[in-house]
């Protein structure tokens, strides 16, 4: 509640008619540029981290299913498929098994064969998608049964290569989050240093305001208002620039197959849009502390 | 009005005052003299509540500065008119805005008050420079502007630290006349200066008392002044 009150005071409640803190000079550009640059880095790191996280989830989800391939002459294929489906129905740990249609097969092979490849014209093996229960399937047992009853069937267990991919993408995602945290901590340090530098250049303003009987709360609010506005605008510019760069990336990565999914979701965009507000909050506390510290040292 | 009671103050291990006492009566005109480095500015800062005495007490308007919060100190400063030798202003504001600043902080920045400020600027001879920035003013003009800012809130006490330190003799006389006029209006004037000729001149206008700082003590100055 107190924080919201401070936020309100910092931006909207301007009791003075005069602008007591100068909104000019090199410190203005220093704080604005610092906020912009740090926001840009934060947004890019955050975006990559979120993309990695989404990819990790997507890959994990899509590779959760195992598949069964059946190669047989065309006239036998339908019969063998029915047998395979019956076997799978009897196998414990199989939640569902369904025959993959021609449309899904086309989509699956599109990155390698292209959009217009006439898949119907060639003899394609039947493909059965197997969904597991939480308990999982005894793949060794299933493989043995299939080799006895359907020798042409090949069972692909995605779990073998899903796990390393999941581990790697999770690690990349965690590394991204760690980078974001580091950037945010650096941003706090940078914003604090920029505020202190700006305050050092304005120590005369502090002295004059004290001399004419300004309350400390008024002095703090005046500085917080102007510094926070600068940092918010700088951060907004940095975030918008980073956003534009991120928007351009998918345009260049079209037809990359699996990497087509490299894009931000709506929730990711919301996280990114929060960056300027986060910087504003950092600025409120950093400036408030810096001004209070300067006032304490003032004679 | 202003009571200094057994005040001691030191910077690090170097004592500036040792148990000094002084009682400033309302409407009086005081000069605080002494050589450079004797502690005149420190004394003014103590009276303004910018410094707090280590030992002893300073009461302004009946309240001890030692017991005041920052808020109360700020309120007290609104009843004091303080002029420093450096005459610092907010350089991005015009002289008129700088002078009206104390009123603006007190929420009294109205059209009527603006008119009063212009009258005040006429009084200090800066009417034509109301829209000028402080850095464009001469030393004497800055001193007069600082005096105008100090009296805008109609303070009961005016504390001036070397107000004629950076100006020529002619301007010193003019500033002194302004301070004498304020004293005649009933304001208590407390000026620190090393310029004894200014003190002599003041004594030809008003009954001024002179306090001398030396050897960590305050003393009544001799009749040679």
pLDDT of residue B98: 93
| Three-state DSSP class for residue A136 | coil
Query: CA-CA distances (angstroms) from residue B176 to B27, B202, B212?
Result: 16, 7, 19
Select from A16, A207, A215 the Cβ nearest to the Cβ of B74.
A215
Interface contact flag, A18 B97, Cβ < 8 Å: yes
pLDDT of residue B223: 44
Interface contact flag, A213 B107, Cβ < 8 Å: no
The CATH code belonging to domain A65-157 is 3.30.70.100
Nearest chain B residue (CA) to A15: B107
pLDDT of residue A236: 96
Interface contact flag, B88 A214, Cβ < 8 Å: no
The verdict on A215 touching B (C-beta cutoff 8 Å) is yes
Q: Would you give the DSSP letter of residue B186? A: T
- Sequential pLDDT tens for chain A (299 residues): 666 666 565 555 555 467 888 877 777 888 899 899 999 998 988 888 888 777 777 776 666 667 777 777 777 788 888 888 888 888 888 888 888 888 888 877 777 777 778 877 787 888 888 888 878 788 888 888 888 888 888 888 777 777 787 788 778 778 888 888 888 888 888 878 877 888 888 888 999 999 898 999 999 998 899 889 999 999 999 999 999 998 887 654 455 544 555 667 788 889 899 999 999 998 898 889 888 988 888 76
| Domain parsing of chain B, residue ranges | 2-220
For the stretch B117-141, pLDDT in tens is: 888 888 888 889 989 999 999 888 9
pLDDT of residue B225: 47
| Domain parsing of chain A, residue ranges | 2-60+163-297, 65-157
Alpha helices by DSSP H, chain A: 2-11, 26-62, 74-90, 102-113, 139-149, 159-201, 203-211, 216-252, 266-273, 275-297
Q: Residue window 11-30, chain A: list those with CB within 8 Å of chain B.
A: 15-20, 22-24
pLDDT of residue A280: 92
Interface contact flag, B88 A207, Cβ < 8 Å: yes
Alpha helices by DSSP H, B4-110: 40-47, 70-77, 95-105
Given a cut of 60, whether residue B206 has pLDDT beyond it is: yes
Interface contact flag, A214 B45, Cβ < 8 Å: no
Residue matched to tokens 């699956």: A108
CATH architecture of the domain with residue range B2-220: 3-Layer(aba) Sandwich (3.40)
Interface contact flag, A217 B71, Cβ < 8 Å: yes
For the stretch B149-179, pLDDT in tens is: 998 888 999 999 988 887 788 888 888 888 8
Select from A19, A216, A299 the Cβ nearest to the Cβ of B70.
A216
**Nearest CA of chain A to the CA of B173: how many Å?**
25
């Amino acid at each position: 509640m107190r924080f919201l009150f401070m936020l309100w005071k910092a931006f909207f409640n301007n009791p003075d008619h005069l602008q007591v803190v100068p909104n000019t000079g090199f410190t203005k550009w220093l704080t604005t540029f610092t906020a912009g640059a740090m926001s840009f880095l934060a947004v890019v790191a955050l975006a990559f981290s979120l993309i990695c996280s989404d990819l990790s989830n997507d890959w994990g989800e899509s590779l959760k299913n195992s598949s069964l391939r059946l190669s047989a002459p065309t006239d036998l294929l339908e019969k063998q498929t029915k047998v395979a489906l019956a076997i799978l129905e009897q196998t414990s740990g199989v939640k569902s098994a369904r025959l993959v249609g021609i449309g899904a097969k086309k989509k699956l092979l599109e990155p390698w064969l292209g959009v217009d490849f006439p898949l119907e014209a060639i003899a394609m093996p039947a493909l059965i998608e197997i969904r597991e229960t939480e308990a999982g399937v005894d793949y060794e047992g299933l493989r043995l049964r299939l080799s006895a009853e359907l020798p042409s069937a090949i069972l692909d267990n995605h779990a073998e290569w899903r796990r390393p991919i999941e581990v790697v993408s999770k690690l990349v995602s965690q590394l991204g989050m760690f980078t974001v945290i580091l950037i945010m901590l650096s941003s706090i340090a940078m914003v604090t240093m920029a505020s202190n530098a700006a305050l050092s250049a304005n120590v005369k303003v502090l002295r004059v305001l004290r001399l004419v009987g300004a309350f400390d709360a008024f002095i703090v609010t005046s500085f917080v208002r102007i510094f926070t506005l600068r940092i918010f605008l700088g951060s907004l510019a940095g975030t918008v620039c980073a956003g534009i760069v991120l928007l351009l990336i998918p345009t260049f990565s079209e037809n990359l197959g699996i990497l087509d999914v490299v894009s931000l979701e709506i929730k990711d965009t919301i996280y990114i849009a929060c960056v300027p507000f986060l910087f504003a909050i950092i600025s409120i506390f950093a400036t408030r502390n810096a001004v209070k510290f300067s006032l304490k040292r003032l004679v | 009005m202003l009571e200094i009671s057994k005040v001691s103050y030191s910077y690090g291990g170097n004592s500036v005052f040792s148990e000094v006492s002084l009682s400033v009566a309302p409407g009086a005109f005081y000069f605080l003299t002494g050589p450079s480095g004797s502690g005149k500015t420190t004394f003014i800062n103590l009276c303004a509540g910018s410094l707090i005495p280590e030992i002893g007490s300073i009461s302004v308007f009946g309240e001890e500065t030692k017991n005041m919060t920052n808020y109360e100190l700020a309120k007290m400063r609104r009843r004091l008119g303080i002029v420093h030798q450096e005459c610092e202003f907010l350089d991005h504001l015009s002289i008129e805005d700088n002078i009206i600043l104390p009123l603006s902080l007190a929420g009294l920045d109205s059209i009527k008050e603006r008119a009063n400020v212009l009258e005040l600027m006429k009084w200090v001879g800066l009417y034509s420079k109301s829209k000028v920035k402080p850095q464009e003013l001469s030393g004497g003009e800055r001193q007069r502007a600082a005096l105008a800012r100090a009296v805008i809130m109609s303070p009961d006490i005016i504390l001036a630290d070397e107000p004629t330190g950076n100006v020529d003799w002619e301007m010193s006389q003019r500033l002194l006349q302004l301070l004498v006029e304020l004293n005649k209006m009933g304001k208590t004037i407390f000026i620190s200066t090393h310029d004894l000729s200014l003190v002599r001149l003041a004594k030809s206008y008003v009954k001024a008392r002179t306090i001398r700082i030396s050897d960590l003590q305050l003393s009544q100055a001799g009749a040679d002044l």
